[in-house]
Structures are given as C-alpha cells and as structure tokens.
Amino acid sequence: MKHVVYIMVLLTCLSPLKAQQTLIYTQYTFNKAGLNPAASGTDLNQEMYYVFGVGRPYYGLSGSPKQTFVNFSYTIREPRSISFWQNIGIYVEDEESGLFSQNNFYAGYTMHRLLRKKILFSWGIYAGFRRIGRSTGGFDSNDPAVSKTTDLLLYPDLLPGVRVASQKFFAGLSLKQVSITSLRDFKGRKIGSPSRLTPTLYAEYGQKIPLMANVLFMPSVAVNAPIIGPPLIDATALFYLYNRVGLGVGMRGTSLVNGILQIRFLKNLCAGFAYGYAVGNMRYAQSQTFEIMVGVTPVGMDVKVTGQHSIARCPDLQF
C-alpha cells in the first residue's frame, strides 16, 4: 500500500497542466472500458455491461468542452467455462470544445484468459472511425487557411489495449491516435494547417485493499501520456462502504481537485457524480467542473468485502 501512495504523490506533483487531444475522465474506473477496450467484460458474472455519462470541464466558460459517451457490451462464454470468455460491444464518444468537435464511433472485441493464481489477462481492440468537425462561424471565409480546407474530416481509427487484474489489483495500457499523425484524412483533406496528432499512451494502476468488514479502499493512478510531451496524471482515492456507497477524492496534476460520490441504487446499477474545483490559473476564469455517470456497478463497488466467517458468491470472478 505504501508504494502506491508514494507513486500517487510523486506523479501528481510532477504532472503539469497540458491540453489533451484525447478525452479524459475523473471517474476513469467507472468508464474503464471506454479508456481501455481490454477492460470490457472483465466480470464473468455480468453478461451485459453498459454505462453512459456526461462531463462539463470548466462549466460556464464560453467554449468549454462538452463531453458525452455511451458504452454497451455483451459477454460470450461456453457453458461452465470460467477460464476463457470473450466480449463484444460498441463505444460512442463525443466532445464539443470551442469551434471544434469530435465524434468517435467504435466496435469492440475483448478476449479474457484466467491464468494461475486467479490472474486475469485481457486483450482488446476498438475499431471504428473518428469525425473531426470545425464550426463555420468565427472564421474569415476569405482567409486561405479557411477557404482551402474542409470543415469535416472522417478517418478510420484503432485503439488497442491490454490489462492484467486480480482480486487485489488492476493494471492496464492502451494506445490512442495511432492511425494518422495529423488532422488530415487519407484523401489529403485537412482542417487549417494540419495539426499534429500525437500517439498517446493511457495507463492505469490501482489496488483493492480491504480495511475492515464491508469497507474497501481503492487508490489508483491514471496517466494520459503523449509519446512526445509531458503526461497528464489523475490520482484518486476511493472508499467503498457496504457495496452501496463510494466516497473519494482526486487530483488532476496540479490544476484540479475532485470529489467523487457513487451510489448503488438498484441491484446492479450505480450513479457516479464528480465535482472538480480548479486550483491552478483556470480558477480565475472558471473554477467548476462536473461529471455524471450511470451504469453497471463499477470496479471497487462490486468487490465483496466480508468477515472471515462470511460466504462470498462462487465463483468470485470480478476483475
């Protein structure tokens, strides 16, 4: 536990504020399959997985990002098989920010293999396309940089990922923006001067630590790191009580402090709320950020933390 805390503190202190070309979320463990396709369908007992959400970074500021996403997947396995299963699904993600917008549409496939000592290895990929749009307002139509370029780009995209998990920890890696290197499609069309699209590595690591009967502590770190350039790092500490309520705090670099509340209101349905307050220079423009997610019970809240004489459901294959 100590080394996890040390890593969280070190990475948070070293992480600078940097504009991102890929979408990030405060509740990254809730939308785990949206950030890494290998995290889709990790719970063998859950046949269907679904989650949707909205995010409003720096809400109220003119041109601030507006994010939405929807994720749905279905698990396929042979009867009585607990060592191998597959998952298929779709993921849709949208963002409007200033004069630009992006829409991402993916179909996903994930393969899970249970190794020795209850270690789950997962490999997954999203294949689809991205749509990058530019608003026609706010530009001078006589400007050559505008008149000689398009208002819309559409190109195929791939997002591969791997993940390793057990009852005590999870760790994952995925790659984004690996199909093209600039805002130019395969026909040569571009939006303005082609902006460079840097391949980005997304990595996360967390531990599940029982503190007492019916209380679980889950510290985690998520890194959104361009291949060239400094990373943006989220560090989060969540406490799950009685598999019903999750309370936590988080830090995004040195720019944003977050509070998180997750509530399980049906047998396997949960709502998550995150509120962020800017502590960097953005607080002078607009300090508030919020995020709402609804879906299947997220990692952490689905872990059975019981006393030594209690009986957990069998097989206990939640990763």
Q: 90 is written with which tokens?
A: 């779709």
Count the neighbouring beta carbons within 10 Å of the beta carbon of residue 138: 9
- Give the Cα separation of 165 and 304 in Å (integer): 16
Nearest residue to 32 (alpha-carbon basis) of 289, 316, 299, 236: 299
- The answer to whether the peptide bond before residue 315 is cis (omega within 30 degrees of 0) is yes
Q: Are 37 and 275 in contact (CB under 8 A)?
A: no
Nearest residue to 123 (alpha-carbon basis) of 222, 41, 225, 221: 41
Nearest residue to 95 (alpha-carbon basis) of 125, 128, 53: 53
Residues forming a β-bridge with 108: 89, 126
Coil vs helix vs strand at 146? helix
- Provide the residue-wise pLDDT of the chain in tens; the chain has 319 residues: 544 443 443 333 333 333 456 788 999 999 999 999 999 999 888 889 999 999 998 887 877 889 999 999 999 988 888 889 999 999 999 998 877 888 999 999 999 999 977 899 999 999 999 888 776 555 555 655 555 555 667 788 899 999 999 989 999 999 998 877 777 666 666 666 666 778 899 999 999 999 988 899 999 999 999 888 889 999 999 999 988 999 999 999 888 899 999 999 888 899 999 999 988 776 666 778 999 999 988 877 776 665 443 333 444 566 7
Strand duo 169-176 + 152-165: pairing: antiparallel
Give, for 255, the enclosing helix (H) or strand (E).
none
Domains and CATH numbers, the chain: 2-296 (2.40.160.40)
Instruction: Answer positive or negative: Cα dihedral of 141, 63, 52, 178.
Output: positive
- Give the Cα separation of 73 and 60 in Å (integer): 33
Q: 21 is written with which tokens?
A: 């070309």
Residue 184, φ and ψ in degrees, nearest 5: -145, 130
pTM of the model: 0.83
